[in-house]
DNA sequence: AATTTTACTGCGACACAGTTGCAATATTAC
DNA sequence: GTAATATTGCAACTGTGTCGCAGTAAAATT
């Protein structure tokens, strides 16, 4: 199933690149120039995740945030997202803190997905 | 507003103590002996969180998990939950890994809530 | 022990995030 | 240009969590 390039996919990907931060569905929808259906945005984002263009974080608000894969080793074989995210409770920004983190797990445990979010106040809002 | 002890509150608290793990609403509901209303369970859990008896983690599945505060310094003045949680993708168990974690944030950032979850396979399921 | 106070419960309705089925549309291959 | 099919829009749906309100029951007061 080969992927196709559409105005929606390019717009959303460009938006995420330009933002640099992790964006939720509603942030994306309201930032888009053209009207794109809710379901389409979700489907596009899920495809980007499958393709390793974008990674997903779930915040402590229960919402999904999507960010471009830049320092995640998207180019390398190992594509891991063991980095912390910071969500500002004031301005709502969600940033990828590209600080390497290796968390040792107990014997026999295998890590598949890292979902690391710290919420608080960013330097703009503190 | 003083709290009252009811069969629901004692049952839910005992269940969480006995389990030792973090439990989601539906895990709790299905483990309870007596039938307790959905909304009541949520309200009891939220009260426990307010009172510092229990802490909440949001998984990468977007669901809330609740665990007894034991090694969180519930007794001390500083009651922080900067510890990692592990969610097994196979058996669904969510554990508090009581490994101390101090994550240095960039200058000017203030942490309020830590929501750290690693998903994968536990020692039973790997 | 009876009465009062009010915290808690159950029920229903609701809000919200995300998913899915299906017909219509648009991209890519030929 | 035509055919094949990936993508879209729309509507309906699911699941998690919240809220208002009337009824119930815990605890304080008498
Ligand atoms: Mn990230
Ligand atoms: Mn915990
Ligand atoms: Zn901020
Ligand atoms: Zn397991």
3-state SS class at B68: strand
Range A8-12 average pLDDT: 98
Nucleotides of C under 7 A from a protein CB: 6-13, 17-21, 26-29
Distance, CA of A90 to C1' of C5, in Å: 40
**Closest Cβ–Cβ partner in A97, A113, A123 for B108:** A123
What does the mean pLDDT of chain B come to? 93
Q: What is the pLDDT of residue A15?
A: 98
Q: How confident is the model at residue A79 (pLDDT cuts 50, 70, 90)?
A: low
At A78 the pLDDT is 63
CB of A48 within 7 Å of some strand D atom: no
- Top pLDDT among B101 and B29 is at B29
Burial of B122 (0-12, 13-18, 19+ CB in 10 A): buried
Q: What class has domain B7-120?
A: mainly alpha
Percent of chain A with pLDDT over 70: 92
Among candidates A89, A106, A110 on the partner chain, residue whose Cβ is nearest the Cβ of B97: A106
Three-state DSSP class for residue B40? helix
Range with lowest mean pLDDT among A60-64, A122-126, B76-80: B76-80
Per-residue pLDDT tens over the stretch A93-116: 999 998 778 888 999 999 999 999
pLDDT at position B103: 87
Q: Which pLDDT value is given to residue B77?
A: 59
The pairing of strands B54-58 and B94-97 is: unpaired
Distance CA B113, CA B62 (A): 16
3-class SS at B113?
strand
pLDDT at residue A21 tops 70: yes
How many Å apart are B2 CA and D4 C1'? Answer: 68
* pTM of the model as a whole: 0.94
Which runs of E-coded beta strand occur in chain A? 23-24, 54-58, 64-68, 84-88, 94-97, 110-121
* CA separation, residue B81 to residues A118, B19, B120 (Å): 11, 19, 21
Mean pLDDT of all residues in A34-38: 97
Residue boundaries of the structural domains of chain A: 7-120
Confidence of residue A11 (pLDDT cuts 50, 70, 90): very high
Residue A47 pLDDT > 60, yes or no? yes
């Amino acid at each position: 199933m080969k992927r196709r390039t559409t105005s929606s996919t390019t717009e959303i990907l460009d938006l995420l690149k330009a933002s640099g931060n992790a964006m939720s569905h509603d942030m994306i929808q309201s930032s888009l120039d053209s009207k794109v259906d809710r379901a389409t945005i979700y489907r596009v984002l899920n495809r980007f995740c499958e393709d390793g263009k974008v990674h997903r974080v779930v915040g402590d608000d229960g919402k999904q945030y999507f960010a471009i894969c830049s320092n995640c080793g998207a180019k390398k074989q190992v594509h891991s997202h063991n980095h912390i995210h910071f969500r500002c409770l004031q301005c709502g920004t969600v940033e990828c803190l590209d600080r390497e983190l290796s968390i040792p797990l107990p014997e026999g445990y295998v890590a598949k997905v890292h979902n690391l979010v710290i919420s608080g106040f960013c330097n703009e809002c503190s």
